[in-house]
Structure 1
Amino acid sequence: MKTITYTTTSGEKIQSSFWQATGNTINPTIIYIHGGGLIFGNRDDLPQTYLDRFLNAGYSVFALDYLLAPESTYQDIIDSVKAGVTHFLNHFNELGVQDNRYILFGRSAGAYLCMQLIADDLSPKPTALIDFYGFESLLASNLLKPNALYSSYPKVTKAELKGLVGDSPVSHSSYEERFLIYVYARQTADWQKMIFQGTDGEEIKLTKELLTSNFPPTYICQSNADPDVPFINSIMLKAKLPNAKLMPITSKDHDFDRVVSPETLKVYEQVIDWLDHLI
């Protein structure tokens, strides 16, 4: 694994991790974007067992950190992710891959960021998109209200929140360091306010034209009892995309693949089989 550092347009240093494929190296590189509600998480959260499946199948993996809210704005977050993709596009030969073809793979909010990048006229566009329990829009009506799961947790107060939020940009965190910020956001329905910094929302719209004519083949995978992001969001996204596959998972967990098991390994093997037939 190689650690790579690059700089955003605002001058922030961001790191990424690169794993070289051990199998057929003519495949595109997977650019992985982690989840965490745009508030917590880091690029190294994908279990090594899943990584090894991709690498052995000939898919190198380039995993990105990115700026996190609320210390950074939505636009800074988007710019930091775009900086990572741009670094790969401009330096792929230094990584030992044969070309700059790539697949975007996001989990949860990472999938949202993938879709935002595609909508932001990313060029060249990805060969494919892998969407694990993501969402098309942060402004979906069922994400704008307090979440029942997080509302059942002990209440996070504003005083506690103040002690968790830093004074400078953050681009890498553990679950323990910042998860309570996300809990607060979902308990209070302030999630969007924390991302968009109190505006009416600035996200890039996935237009009908983009979704129907210029969106890459997409593999959508989500629990049909997801307590965090309603499963209906994936059903509605699938209905808009002419070249998408929706794979429902029977689980009561949002991140059903958090713990490696024979069942979750099968899910990743199905994704790889889909990619192999697509590429």
Structure 2
Amino acid sequence: MMMERTYTYKTVGSCNIQADVYRLEDELIRPVIVWVHGGCLMRGSRMDIRSRGLMSYVNEGYTVVSIDYRLAPEVKLKSIIEDLQDAIRWVREQGPDLFQIDSDRMAVIGSSAGGYLTLMSGFCVEPRPLALVSLFGYGDIAGKWYAEPDAYYCQMPPVSREENLYIYCRQNGLWPNIVVGHDPKTEPRAFDAFCPIRNVTLDYPPTLLLHGEEDTDVPIEQSIIMQAELSRVGVDNEFVRYPGEGHGLDESYSDAVAKALLFLKKHIHFN
């Protein structure tokens, strides 16, 4: 049987930011996966995990902590990353007593924008996770793919900011400006702290990248350049490409979860 509990890991003003914890209903001390939802940092929920391989992770013996975080444009990226840091700190400090985890055996997994935040956790939290899994995520938020009008989205009818903020950003190349609060064309150095690809060192955790070759939302080049940088520096990494798959790996998602579990088995040691 699976146990589910909801906790508030942080309060900002009147906003309670929560995490859902899933684990087998026993007293064993288990390794933990912090799961980070996607949604372009503008939408999405911790509850998305329920259709994203949750039972596979739990049945394999992990406790899964699926976190919410504040969203743009109500807050800027700096605050979102602070939520990520605070969530992981809360899991480390409170998790052993609240839900019987070994906080030293931690992995972070996320998809799309959650994959980006997963890659951020490789250098912006201490102690660092033992392993990272980024599903169709990205390591460079200041590149042309986000900072210039996108060909795929420009094929759609133009929308206003009020109609659909994300599509508006992609059609006008404004996502970095609105989410970060800086213009990558005039303030390139302002993005140094927000781009995982600029912060890879030998201390970066082992990383698995999974990406569809036909992804029209986050181009596979984002995983290609991240994998190249990880390899250049000497970080243990694996990269799985899915021919014919788009954003979300719809037909291959279960295979991606299976590959994630194999990767974690190499880096997360069970007692």
TM-score normalised per structure 2: 0.85
User: Identity over aligned residues, as a percent?
Assistant: 27
Aligned partner of 1:56 in structure 2 is 59
Query: In 2 relative to 1, CA 232–126 (structure 1 residues): closer, same or farther, beyond 3 Å?
Result: same
Q: Matched residues in 2 for 1:34 and 1:91: separation? A: 21
| Number of equivalenced pairs | 254
Pick aligned residue for 1:153 from 150, 153, 156: 156
* CA deviation map 1:202-258 (0-9, x unaligned): 4515476x524111111100001111112122111111213110000123421124x
Asked whether the equivalents of residues 4 and 16 of structure 1 are also in contact (C-alpha less than 8 Å), the reply is yes
> Counterpart of 1:100 in 2: which secondary structure?
strand
Worse-matched range after superposition: 1-10 or 106-115:
1-10
More contact order relative to length (CA 8 Å, sep ≥ 6): 1
Worse-matched range after superposition: 217-226 or 8-17:
8-17
Q: How does 1:60-209 map to 2 (within 5 A)?
A: 60-101=63-104, 102-120=106-124, 122-158=125-161, 160-161=162-163, 180-199=164-183, 200=187, 201-204=190-193, 205-206=195-196
Aligned partner of 1:34 in structure 2 is 37
Aligned partner of 1:251 in structure 2 is 244
Q: CA deviation at 1:270?
A: 1.9
Query: In 2 relative to 1, CA 189–4 (structure 1 residues): closer, same or farther, beyond 3 Å?
Result: same
Gaps of 5+ in 1: 162-179
**Higher relative strand content:** 2
Query: What RMSD in Å do the two structures reach over aligned CA positions?
Result: 2.3
Q: Matched residues in 2 for 1:181 and 1:78: separation? A: 21
Q: CA deviation at 1:126?
A: 0.2
Q: Matched residues in 2 for 1:84 and 1:2: separation? A: 15
Q: CA deviation at 1:89?
A: 1.1
Asked whether the equivalents of residues 213 and 246 of structure 2 are also in contact (C-alpha less than 8 Å), the reply is no
Asked whether the equivalents of residues 15 and 64 of structure 1 are also in contact (C-alpha less than 8 Å), the reply is yes
Query: In 2 relative to 1, CA 23–134 (structure 1 residues): closer, same or farther, beyond 3 Å?
Result: farther
Aligned partner of 1:213 in structure 2 is 202
Query: In 2 relative to 1, CA 54–243 (structure 1 residues): closer, same or farther, beyond 3 Å?
Result: same
Gaps of 5+ in 2: none
Letter of the 2:171 partner, please give it.
Answer: Q
Pick aligned residue for 2:226 from 207, 222, 237: 237
Asked whether the equivalents of residues 27 and 100 of structure 2 are also in contact (C-alpha less than 8 Å), the reply is no
TM-score normalised per structure 1: 0.83
Worse-matched range after superposition: 240-249 or 196-205:
196-205
